[in-house]
Amino acid sequence: MASISARRLRKELNEINVEGCPAGIKLLSADNFDTWLFSIEVLGESLYQGEVFKLMFRFDANYPISAPAVQFVVDETRGAPIHPHIYSNGHICASILGTEWSPVLSVSAVCVTLQSMLASCKVKERPVDNDRYVRTAPDNPKKTRFQYDGDTV
Amino acid sequence: MDMDDFGDDFKVPQRTVRKTYEIEYESLPQSAVERLVANDIDHISGIFGVEASAASLLLRYMNWNKERLIEKYMDNASAVTVAAGISPPSRASPSALGPDRSQGSSSGTRTSGFRRSARQTPAPPKAKPQPFVCPICFDDTQASFAALACDHTFCSGCWTAYITGKIREEGEHAIRCMAEGCALVAPDPFVRTALTDDPETWERFNELLVRHFVASNPNLKYCPYPSCTYTVSCPTAASKSALTTIVPIVTCGPDANPPHRFCFGCPIESDHRPVICSIAKMWLKKCRDDSETANWIKSNTKECSNCQSTIEKNGGCNHMTCKKCKHEFCWVCMGPWSEHGTAWYSCNRYDEKGGVDARDAQSKSRASLERYLHYYNRWANHEQSAKLSVELYAKTEKKMEEMQVTSNLTWIEVQFMKKAVDEVFKCRMTLKWTYAMAYYLEKGNEKELFEDNQRDLERAVEDLSELLESQIEPEIIPTLRQKVTDKTVYVSKRNEIMLEDTAKGFLEGRWQWNVPVEGFD
């Protein structure tokens, strides 16, 4: 019997294939049920006009009961968006990926939330503790206990 | 609070006269705390006319503060019910959940509604479009569904996995509905049903509830020893102001050996009598601070005025020659030695104002350092001796065996040695902390009396320690035994006096401090 996470991801993938991703989001790869990659850009007026980012989802067997590990991919070709809640290593401090995660949320719901988080940004800057965090950050952002301080940006 | 009244009723007939340095407390096993929790829930459920599960959520939401809960509930019952996650905002219309008590029970009916909805009953409480598929797992073979009062329906399997994860991984007792942004909290019967096949996690859930209750109640404190589940109730030490007059050292549970002794008033996990928490905390901080090292460097060294190397002058005259750069200078005025002409052994600029000031500052800092070191060395000495007690116990045990061989004493009769070691250990702990206290005591008669007591205890302890270290000759064993036994009694008495008098001093407000102390004016 397929595990809950596999069944659920197959269903989500199916939906993406049939209905397509939300505007500005493209599926780059979903070859297995461990890691999916998306490209994400903010459409319309924003501080990130013309910038395209790469988003990585990692799922464990407890998905969707537990949140996926989501981060921006930082490689030779692109970096993480400069945003007060996004660290330069691609880790994202967003409550819906932590304590506010709900099993009814989906991969595309997370994409849309992150997209609107970028769209509503008013100042392009790194989190204040960026250097300190990046120096000691775990590989998997889910291992970090973020303090969610304010949802204004 | 109930508990206090309850406690007083039973504590009136005291068995023995309590010593001033001991406090009244009660050690409670987890089951007793669970009873306290149940009492509070019953009380609230009775007053508000709601189900126990709703009362529990209300209490948890208000951190078990019954008075505030009652006040707020009477003020606006529906707002509190919504905030506590019992009913969804739209449902909590005044008609359904008014402050009127008879109507208040309507929320209770609903509570029982979602208990039934889970698991055992295959049919969901509301008619769902058939066939209903759980929006989390999309498993269309699932037949049993459940929802909280918000009607967000999911399959029982997902509920169980979710609730288990929240309890096991996040240590959460307020488990919110799985729907995004829904603030409803799963009541206990709902959790219990979801965990029917997992009694361990249900147990853990109850433990989390008890922990939350204990953490919210200033009269209670969990035993800090690993894996100990006892709680200590000590209402006398619950307020901050009480901690300026008493040292609430408590012991949990009767069975542990060595006993789990800890301070109810602060996080120091050892007996810091006779010193009150704030002084003990201040002293430990001072000992930890690197500033004392800096203080030492300041008092004992100067920098070469040419190459800035740090130099410690450990003797000799004021004519300094830097080992590194060979610069010759005067230790007193720091000027080049060549300017001192023929006055080789005294600095003729000694009395100049700048020089005098610098000297004053340095000697002041040195005096304060010496004072600190005086107390610190004695403190550290007793700490060290106590740490070596493990060795001393082993040595003593060997001696006890030796004694049995060389004399005709029985095992019971040589126990006096072990008793003496126990007493020495205990007294060294007292002595250790008296040095922390003396460091902060304002000069005067009271301090002198304190130090007299301290000196008497210390002398007695050192005498007894020496006796314990002495060689055992078969012919002196009877005298040794008599001496050790006598000394042990004396030492124990001196320790009692030290603790008793210091504790009394705190109650009488007799002690004056040479620094501002938390809680004192």
| Torsions phi, psi for B456 (to 5 deg) | -60, -45
pLDDT score recorded for residue B103: 36
What is the residue extent of each domain of chain A? 4-143
Preferred mutation among B175, B176, B178 to probe A, highest tally of A CBs within 10 A: B178
Q: How far is B265 from chain A (nearest CA, A)?
A: 29
Band of residue A34 on the pLDDT scale cut at 50, 70, 90: very high
Residues B428 and B461 sit within 8 Å (Cβ to Cβ): yes
Query: Got the DSSP string for A4-26?
Result: HHHHHHHHHHHHHHHH-PPTTEE
- Residue A9 pLDDT > 70: yes
Higher pLDDT, A66 or B340: A66
Q: What is the mean pLDDT of chain B?
A: 81
Residue B152: predicted pLDDT: 92
B152 conformational bin, left if phi > 0, alpha if psi -120 to 50, beta if neither = beta
According to CATH, the topology of domain B361-508 is Four Helix Bundle (Hemerythrin (Met), subunit A) (1.20.120)
* Contact assessment for residue B419 and residue B405, using Cβ atoms and an 8 Å cutoff: no
- Residue B87: name the closest of B103, B111, B115, B70 by CA: B111
Write out the two tokens for B302: 């100067």
Model confidence pLDDT, tens digit, residues B483-506: 999 999 999 999 999 999 999 999
- Rounded to an integer, the average pLDDT of A111-135 is 90
> Who among A8, A65, A109 is closest to B162 (CB)?
A65
pLDDT band at B12; cut points 50, 70, 90: very low
The answer for residues whose C-beta is within 8 angstroms of residue B324's C-beta and 6 or more apart is B304, B307, B309
Domain A4-143 CATH assignment equals 3.10.110.10: yes
**Cα A117–Cα A118–Cα A123 angle in degrees, nearest 5:** 110
- Yes or no, beta carbons of B165 and A65 under 8 Å apart: yes
**B477: pLDDT strictly greater than 50:** yes
Can you give the pLDDT at residue B129? 56
Mean pLDDT in residue range A43-62: 91
Distance from CA of B217 to the nearest CA of A (A): 26
CB contacts, 8 Å: A65 with chain B: 136, 158, 161-162, 165
Which residue would you say has higher pLDDT here, B56 or B385?
Answer: B56
A65 CB within 8 Å of a chain B CB: yes
Please compute the mean of the pLDDT values over residues B111-131 and round it to a whole number: 44
The bridge status of strand B319-321 relative to strand B26-28 is: unpaired
Catalytic residues of B, by residue number, are: 317
CB contact under 8 A, A7 and B135: no
ipTM (interface pTM): 0.84
Per the confidence metrics, is the pTM higher than 0.90? Answer: no
User: Please, are residues B125 and B167 in contact by the beta-carbon 8 Å criterion?
Assistant: no
Helices B30-48/B52-61 angle, 10° precision? 100
Interface test with A, best of B133, B134, B136, B162 (most A CBs within 10 A): B136
pLDDT band at A119 (very low <50, low <70, confident <90, very high): very high
In this predicted structure, what is the pLDDT of residue B331? 75
Distance in Å from the first CA to the final CA of chain A:
43
pLDDT of residue B138: 84
Q: How does pLDDT run across B136-151, given as a tens digit for each residue?
A: 888 888 888 999 999 9
Q: Residue B117 above 70 pLDDT?
A: no
Chain B residues interacting with chain A (CB cutoff of 8 angstroms): 135-139, 152, 154, 157-158, 161-162, 165, 169, 178-182
pLDDT at res. B361: 66
Please state, for a pLDDT cut of 70, what percent of chain B lies above it: 81
pLDDT at B352 over 90: no
Query: Among A106-110, B17-21, B116-120, B464-468, where is mean pLDDT lowest?
Result: B116-120
